[in-house]
Amino acid sequence: MRAPAGNEDALRESIVALGASLFQRGFSVGSAGNISVRTQDGFLMTPTNSSLGRLDADELSELDAQWVHTAGPKPSKEVVMHQAMYQARPQAAAVVHLHSTYVTAISCLDQAQPIPPLTPYFIMRLGREVPTVPYYKPGSAAVLQDILAAGRRGPAVILANHGSIVAGSSLHDAVNAAEELEVSAQLAFLLEGRATRPLNEEQIQDLLG
């Protein structure tokens, strides 16, 4: 898939602006989290140990279509997770990995389906479900196959004891979906132990079209 309309400078500025927005609102802290976007020739990615709140548009990592680092600072050690999501979702134009508070808390629970489909926005942005993959050491290449399988089921994946990784048809779509996942996780915690009314199958099918 080719990069969406817009030049590379615009993509760089969007990474910086949206990264800062996520950081300022507490979706990432310190140097946690990373972002990648497709370009005409490969990918742009936030550098290793960089803060989403303090990115420089001229200091992003450049990778070719085979994920070989070609220019700029060394990319995030989570390259394999991004690679797996793009492979799983060929139409994706961007991927966002966050350690947001409620999703990370959910990722530490021993539950197969921790976030129920409570709102239409969950379904519209995240699909029928958000699968969880087992724990892997951050940066481990061994995670690829599990994320590849989970990413084929939907655009968002929870990483056990770690956080989330979310793909979108644009960087804005990926960020919106990652934010929706965090809010959905927060709702799951707020409603824990109460009788809830998840969307039924007919309602889900209507939203999925």
Q: Which of these is catalytic: 8, 86, 121, 136? A: 121
Q: Which of these is catalytic: 62, 78, 129, 182? A: 78
Active site residue 78: yes
At 75, list the tokens.
């990319």
> Taking a C-beta distance cutoff of 8 angstroms, is the pair 174, 94 a contact?
yes
> Taking a C-beta distance cutoff of 8 angstroms, is the pair 22, 175 a contact?
yes
Active site residue 102: no
> Taking a C-beta distance cutoff of 8 angstroms, is the pair 185, 159 a contact?
no
> Taking a C-beta distance cutoff of 8 angstroms, is the pair 168, 87 a contact?
no
State the DSSP string of the chain: -PPPSS-HHHHHHHHHHHHHHHHHTTSS-TT--EEEEE-SSEEEEPBTT--TTS--TTS-EEEETT--EEESSPBPTTHHHHHHHHHH-TT--EEEEE--HHHHHHHTS--SS-S---SHHHHHHH-S---EEPP--TT-GGGHHHHHHHHTT-SEEEETTTEEEEEESSHHHHHHHHHHHHHHHHHHHHTTTS------HHHHHHHH-
- Give the residue numbers marked as catalytic: 78, 121
